[in-house]
Amino acid sequence: MLINIVSTANKTFKHIKALGRKNYREKHKEFVIEGVRLLKEALQSHAPIKAVLVSESFLKNDQNRAFLDKLLMDVNNRPSHSPPPTPHSIYTCNDRMFKEMTHTETPQGILAVAAVQSHSLKDITEDHRPFFVYCDAVQDPGNMGTIIRTADAAGADAVIVSGGCADIYNPKTVRSTMGSLFHLPVIKVEDSRAALSDLKERGLKVIAGHLCATAKNHFEVDMKRGLVLVIGNEANGVSKPIVELSDYIVKIPILGRAESLNAGIASGILMYEIVRQRMK
């Protein structure tokens, strides 16, 4: 059954809208995903979806309606004590109210509330040569999302995110991951030094991508071993304590007159050098 939200005083309406704020997301351990594609990715990955909301216009399209009918059937047939991912409730509201809850300029008319799945470094089962991506104060939500998407494509075991990074549940980050947020564990750590020291003790090498005098070209370092690739802040690179703790500092050579590379691009180049070395 579709539950119609008619007033902006509605509790669910207010809740979804408030999930646009980082501190509210952190308090409730929930976030919003937008669009059919992301919702499908989330359902396929058994991500815990709490609620789905669609706009009036969304329901007017036959293909959308078919997708929703299938979802409603799943909800109705859900055993009373079923675990996620099947959403508990599906809501609808008018387009104007829907627009108030989204963060996209041309919303598709469907969004869902997902519960945060907490992962810890300890949960990660490592194969014989793990590959972690560590984000050290990456600030731009779009870059953060693209890094998660690229790490997924490159077959990374997990993405580790320092406290100073953009929130991974920011609507823009979620959108930029293109679903990869549900494909591999993304682990938040508060104490970067402790986390990296722990990984070093497990035998992993820490490789920081950072422009400095002693850095080697990225393709001149052996990346076939188990490793943590550190991606630094857009403006300042990898922070000093983490540079000091790193086993190797690598740089991407700049041949032309550009001052630097975009942080997302740089991380893609480094991750795929790992892929190349391991596939060769």
Q: Give me the residues that bind a copy of itself (CB under 8 A), please.
A: 146, 149-156, 176, 178-180, 183-184, 217, 219, 252-262, 264-266, 268-269, 272-273, 275-276, 279-280
Give min distance, CB of 41 to a copy of itself, in A.
Answer: 9
181 vs 230, which CB is nearer to a copy of itself?
Answer: 181
Residue 244 Cβ, how far from a copy of itself at the closest point, in Å? 27
Nearer to a copy of itself, 116 or 269 (CB): 269
Q: Which is nearer to a copy of itself, 91 or 182 (CB)?
A: 182
Q: State the minimum distance, in angstroms, from the CB of residue 271 to a copy of itself.
A: 8
- Report phi then psi at 22, rounded to 5: -60, -45
User: Of the two residues 1 and 255, which places its CB atom closer to a copy of itself in the complex?
Assistant: 255
Q: How far apart are CA 192 and CA 161, in angstroms?
A: 9
CB atoms within 10 A of CB 255: 5
What is the rounded CA–CA span in Å between residue 71 and residue 86? Answer: 8
Write down the least CB distance from residue 123 to a copy of itself, Å.
18
C-alpha torsion sign, points 234, 118, 111, 133: positive
Q: Pairing state of beta strands 158-162 and 248-251?
A: unpaired
Backbone angles phi, psi at 137, to 5 degrees: 60, 45
Question: DSSP 3-state helix, strand, coil percentages of the chain (rounded to 5)?
Answer: 40, 20, 40
Beta carbon nearer to a copy of itself, 25 or 175: 175
* ∠ CA 106-29-108, rounded to 5°: 15
> By C-beta, is 59 or 275 nearer to a copy of itself?
275
Shortest distance, CB of residue 72 to a copy of itself, whole angstroms? 26
CB of 221 to a copy of itself, least distance (A): 12
Burial of 89 by CB count in 10 Å (0-12 exposed, 13-18 middle, 19+ buried)? middle
Contacts of 248 (CB under 8 A, 6+ apart): 205, 206, 207, 208, 216, 221
For the chain, the distance separating the N- and C-terminal CA atoms, rounded to the nearest angstrom, is 54
Nearer to a copy of itself, 93 or 133 (CB): 133
Smallest gap from Cβ 150 to a copy of itself, in A, equals 6
